[in-house]
Amino acid sequence: MGKDSKKHLVGQPVFKQIIQMLPRDKFDLLVRKYESDRYYKTFSSWDELVTLLFGIFSRCDSMGELCDGMRALGGKLNYLGMSCSPAKSTAGDGLRNRNEDFFKQVYQMLIEHFQPTLSVSRKEDVKFDSFYAFDSTTITLFTDVMKGVGRNPKGDGKKKGGLKVHLLTDVHTDSAKFARISEAKMHDKKFLSKLSLPAGSMVTMDRAYNFYKQFARWMVEGVSFVTRQKKNAKVEVVETLYLSPQTDKANKKKACVLMEEHIHFTYKDGKEQKPLCLRRVTYKDEKDRKYQFITNNWDITAEEVALIYKYRWTIELVFKKLKQNFQLRFFYSDTENGIKTQIWCTLIAHLLLNVIRRLSKTKKAFSKLAALIQIHLISHLDIIWVVTEARRAYVKRTKSRNKSPAATQLSLF
């Protein structure tokens, strides 16, 4: 194998190129607005963000491992705007005391900043320009600092803690638009009222979010939704709009709409009982599984209702990327503030990798991209070349440099 003559070396390591993507001017405005550096002399908000991103991208398991790893970099820290590696106690104090709400605001700022870059793609088979999916994922904590879910352990066992990350993602761009962190015991539907969706948008979610009062508000605000009906829901069927004729066995494996109905739910608004008029679509997929979807949109076809709910799976893929490619099993702090701060920085890291993926126009899997960044984090290579062309850096030789032993022996005679 012969090495390519072009080294693709640059004057800054890959990690510095990632950090340069962050708008420092907007970051400093948030620092002044929230006074996040008011009580810190040696460990600024920028230092904390850079330190945590280094640990997240390099997948360090502990704060000690993170600080020792940065200390070994020596003079390379000046690329990152840091004079020295933070001490373990200093970094731990920052995680414990600096308000996690500041990093939440940083994340929201970055979503808006990178929106033009991420909004170039869209799902062509969905007519809604604003198309969102909403769901949550549970992260287990081996501490009781935040209340988890499940039964209390027997005997002297210790109940695990847990938190939930609630995300609203843009299905077109596969990026988050809204995020909240709560205790794992918090019911999901309470966060629907915190969403601010534009008129004319579409949101899809699982049946755990059946919140009829919020559905009624969305109907007034002009927001469409698609979700599944709960099995124990009390429904009044007003009219059957469509009923599929009986099909033979040959069409059993074919996806189709079985029924379309006009239904009424009843919800409580204060002391008053109010009706909620919705549309129900009964759908059968290729594996002969039946689903009941409810929606407030009467303009789209029944097949489009099923397709929109199918796109809800994209948010599950986002959670899969977060859990498989970032260190969410080990936390650098055992305090609630520190744990939430690390979650926000993990979401920032996920956003930055999505931006790199979009800029490089690569078709590599997200897991491969994260692995390449981890391997070349301190290499002085162009980040776009690492992501797109690294596999092509070696070319096949036409002639062997060393002769085989048999050929060498024959040459002696």
Segments making up each domain of the chain, as ranges = 2-106+334-395, 227-310
Whether pLDDT at 377 is above 80: yes
pLDDT tens digits along 109-119: 999 999 888 87
Please choose, from the candidates 105, 132, 116, the residue with its C-alpha nearest in 3D space to the C-alpha of residue 28. Answer: 105
Answer yes or no: are the C-beta atoms of 228 and 306 closer than 8 Å.
no
Answer yes or no: are the C-beta atoms of 215 and 278 closer than 8 Å.
yes
Strand partners, 350: none
Answer yes or no: are the C-beta atoms of 391 and 371 closer than 8 Å.
no
Q: How far apart are CA 206 and CA 192, in angstroms?
A: 12
Token pair in block for residue 85: 């590696």
Whether pLDDT at 257 is above 70: yes
pLDDT tens digits along 169-225: 989 888 888 888 888 777 777 788 888 899 999 999 998 888 999 999 999 999 999
Token pair in block for residue 138: 């549970």
Band of residue 305 on the pLDDT scale cut at 50, 70, 90 = very high
Token pair in block for residue 355: 């931006």
Answer yes or no: are the C-beta atoms of 278 and 260 closer than 8 Å.
no
pLDDT of residue 353: 94
Highest mean pLDDT among 69-83, 177-191, 239-253: 177-191
* Mean pLDDT value of segment 5-12: 66
213 DSSP 8-state letter: H
Phi-psi region of 409 (alpha: psi -120 to 50; beta: other; left: phi over 0): alpha
* Mean pLDDT value of segment 236-243: 92
pLDDT of residue 280: 96
Least confident of 72-76, 99-103, 155-159, 334-338: 155-159
